[in-house]
Amino acid sequence: MSVEKEIDKNAFTNYIPMDSEEENPELPTQLGPDKLTQRYDSRKIIDREDEYQRRKRLRTFSPERADAFNKTDKDINKRSYADILKEQAQVKADREKQKRNLQEKRERLNKGESKSYEHEASNDYASTRNESESDTRKTRWGGETPTISRSPEPSDENQAGKAKDNWDAPSENSDSTAPNVYSNITPQNLKMLRLAKELEERNKYLTDEELNGLLPIDGYEIVPVPDTYKPPKTNRINPFLGGMNFYQIPEELGKPYEVPGVPDSGPNALPQIKPEDLGYFGALLQEVDFDNLSYEEQKERRIMELLLKVKNGNPIMRKQALRQITEKARELGAGPLFSQILPLMMSPTLEDHERHLLVKVIDRVLYKLDDLVRPYVHKILVVIEPMLIDEDFYARVEGREIVSSLSKAAGLATMIATMRPDIDHIDEYVRNTTARAFAVVASALGIPALLPFLKAVCHSRKSWFAKHTGIKIVQQIAILIGCSILPHLKSLTEIIKDGLLDEQPKVRTITALAIAALAEASAPYGIEAFEHIIQPLWEGIKTHSGRALAAFLKAMGYIIPLMDPEHAGACTRKIMHVVIREFDTQDEDMKKIVLKVLKQCVSTEGVSANYVRDHILQDFFRSFWLRRMALDKKNSKPLIETTVELANKVGGGEIIGRIVDHLKDENEPFRKMVLETIEKIVINLGVADINSKLEEKVMDGMLFAFQEQATDDSAAVINAFGTVVSALGIRCKPSIPYICGTIQWRLNNRSPRVRMQAADLVAKIAIVMKACGEDNLMGRMGVVLYECLGEEYPEVLGSCLCALKAIVNVIGMTKMTPPIKDLLPRLTPILKNRHEKVQENVIDLIGRIADRGAEYVSAKEWMRICFDLLDLLRAHKKGIRRATVNTFGYIAKAIGPHDVLGTLLNNLKVQERQNRICTTVAIAIVAETCGPFTVIPALMNEYRVPELNVQNGVLKSFAFMFEYIGEMTKDYIYAVTPLLEDALVDRDLVHRQIACAAIKHLAIGVEGLGCEDALTHLLNFIWPNVFENSPHVINAVIDALDGLRLGLGVGRLLSYVTQGLFHPARKVRDVYWRIYNLLYLGNQDGLVMSFPTLIDDEMNTYRRTELELFL
Amino acid sequence: MSERWNAQVQLEHLQQKYAGAGNADTTKWEWGCTIRRDSLASHIGHHSRMLYMAIAENESTSRMKHNMLWKMVQPCGPPPPKK
ipTM: 0.94
Please give the Cα distance from A253 to A432 (Å, whole number).
39
A196 occurs within a structural domain? no
CB-based contacts of A480, cutoff 8 Å, min separation 6:
A11, A400, A439, A440, A443
The closest CB to that of B78, out of A1078, A1080, A1099, belongs to A1099
Q: How far is CA A99 from the centre of its chain?
A: 46
Q: Is the peptide bond before A524 cis (omega within 30 degrees of 0)?
A: yes
CA atoms in the 13 A half-sphere facing the CB of A629: 27
In B, which residues are within 8 Å of A1081 by CB distance? 15, 18, 21
Whether A718 and A761 have beta carbons less than 8 Å apart is answered as yes
First to last CA, chain A: 59
Interfacial A residues in 770-829 facing B (CB < 8 Å):
none
A1078 interaction partners in chain B (CB closer than 8 Å): 15
Residues forming a β-bridge with A351: A44
Q: Alpha-carbon distance A168 to A364, whole Å?
A: 46
φ, ψ of residue A115 in degrees (nearest 5) = -110, 5
The answer to whether residue B71 is domain-embedded is yes
Host H or E run for residue A99: helix A81-111
pLDDT at A187: 63
Name the closest residue on chain B to residue A320, using Cα atoms.
B1
Instruction: Please state the pTM of the whole predicted model.
Output: 0.67
- Contact status, residue A335 vs residue A303, Cβ threshold 8 Å: no
3-state secondary structure string across A354-411? HHHHHHHHHHHHHHHHHHHHHHHHHHHHHHHHHHHHCCCHHHHHHHHHHHHHHHHHHC
Inspect the interface and report whether the beta carbons of B22 and A1099 lie closer than 8 Å.
Answer: no
Secondary structure class of A312 (helix, strand, coil): helix
Residue A707, pLDDT score: 87
Please name the amino acid found at residue B3.
E
The residues near A201 (Cβ < 8 Å, ≥ 6 apart) are none
Whether A1101 and B45 lie within 8 Å, measured CB to CB? no
Within-domain flag for A784: yes
8 Å CB contact of B80 and A1099: yes
Name the residue among A784, A808, A788, A786 with its Cα closest to residue A796. Answer: A788
d(CA A673, CA A677) in angstroms, rounded, equals 6
Residue ranges of chain A whose pLDDT lies below 50: 1-40, 114-181, 235-246, 248, 250-251
Nearest-angstrom CA–CA distance, A1081 and A1086:
10
* The predicted structure's pLDDT at residue A1111: 83
**Within a domain: residue B12?**
no
Q: Which residues contact A739 (CB under 8 A, 6 or more apart)?
A: A703, A732, A761, A765
The answer to whether residues A592 and A548 touch, using CB atoms and an 8 Å cutoff, is no
Contacts of A1111 in chain B (CB under 8 A): 52, 55-56
- Does the beta-carbon distance from A1109 to B77 stay under 8 Å? no
- Total residues found in chain B within this entry: 83
Smallest CA–CA distance, residue A1032 to chain B, in Å, is 9
Does B83 reside within a domain? Answer: no
CB contact under 8 A, B76 and A1101: yes
If one counts the domains in chain B, the total is 1
A26 falls within a domain: no
Report pLDDT for A188: 67
- Flag whether B65 is in a domain: yes
Examine residue B41 and state whether it is found in any structural domain, yes or no: yes
Q: How many CA atoms are closer than 13 Å to the CA of A96, on its beta-carbon side?
A: 6
Alpha helices in B21-76 (DSSP H): 28-45, 47-57, 61-71
Tally of CB atoms within 10 A around B77: 15
Three-state SS letters, A847-908: HHHHHHCHHHCCHHHHHHHHHHHHHHCCCCCHHHHHHHHHHHHHHHHHHCHHHHHHHHHHHC
On whether residue A698 sits in a domain, the answer given is yes
CB pairs under 8 A between A and B: 87
Burial of residue A756 (number of CB atoms within 10 Å: 0-12, 13-18, 19+): buried
What one-letter code names the amino acid at A233?
A: K
Question: How many domains, in total, are found in chain A?
Answer: 1
Measured from the Cβ of residue A1092, the count of other Cβ atoms closer than 10 Å reads 12
Q: Identify all chain B residues contacting A1076, using CB atoms and an 8 Å cutoff.
A: 22
Closest approach of A1037 to chain B, Cα-based (Å):
11
Q: Which residues of B touch A1085 (CB under 8 A)?
A: 38, 42, 45
Decide if A390 contacts A85 (C-beta within 8 A): no
What letter represents residue A105's amino acid? K
The CA distance from A74 to A68, in Å, is 9
Helix (H, G, I), strand (E, B) or coil at A273: strand
Name the B residues in 15-74 with CB < 8 Å from any A CB: 15-16, 18, 20-24, 26, 28-29, 31-32, 35-36, 38-40, 42-43, 45, 52-53, 55-57, 68
Smallest Cβ–Cβ distance between A1073 and the set B26, B53, B76 belongs to B26
> Domain of B49?
30-75
Q: Cβ B42–A316 below 8 Å, yes or no?
A: no
d(C-alpha A105, C-alpha A1101), whole Å: 100
Give the single-character DSSP code of A616.
I
> Could you tell me if A467 and A507 are in contact, meaning their C-beta atoms sit under 8 angstroms apart?
yes
Q: Which letter, b or e, does each residue of A931-957 get, where b requires 16 or more Cβ atoms within 10 Å of its Cβ?
A: ebebbbebbeebbeeeeeebbbbbbbb
> What's the DSSP call for residue A32?
-
For residues A227 and A665, give the distance between their C-alpha atoms in angstroms, rounded to a whole number.
Answer: 69
Quick check: A1070 and B55 CB within 8 A?
Answer: no
Rounded Cα gap, residues A816 and A805, in angstroms:
11
A316:B1 CB<8 A:
yes
Contacts of B21 in chain A (CB under 8 A): 1077, 1080-1081
Q: Give the pLDDT confidence score for residue A261 in this predicted structure.
A: 66
Tell me: cis bond preceding A28? Omega within 30 of 0 counts: no
- CB neighbour list of residue A266: distance below 8 Å, 6 or more residues apart: none
Q: How far apart are CA A938 and CA A225, in angstroms?
A: 92
Least Cα distance to A1033 among A1069, A987, A1079 occurs for A987
Note whether A1073 contacts B22, CB cutoff 8 Å.
Answer: yes
- Alpha carbons A261 and A921: distance in angstroms, whole number: 56
- Å between B56 CA and nearest CA of chain A: 6
Q: What angle do CA A763, A765, A769 make, to 5 degrees?
A: 120
Q: Give the integer Cα–Cα distance in Å for A1001 and A962.
A: 6
CATH code at A750? 1.25.10.10
Q: In this structure, is residue B68 part of a structural domain?
A: yes
Q: Name A944's Cβ contacts closer than 8 Å, sequence gap at least 6.
A: none
Write out chain A residues lying below 8 Å of B29, CB-based. 1100
Residue A778's domain comprises 693-818
How crowded is residue A1103: how many other Cβ atoms within 10 Å of its Cβ? 14
Rounded to whole angstroms, the Cα distance separating A38 from A164 reads 40
Phi-psi region of A1094 (alpha: psi -120 to 50; beta: other; left: phi over 0): beta
Strand partners, A65: A79
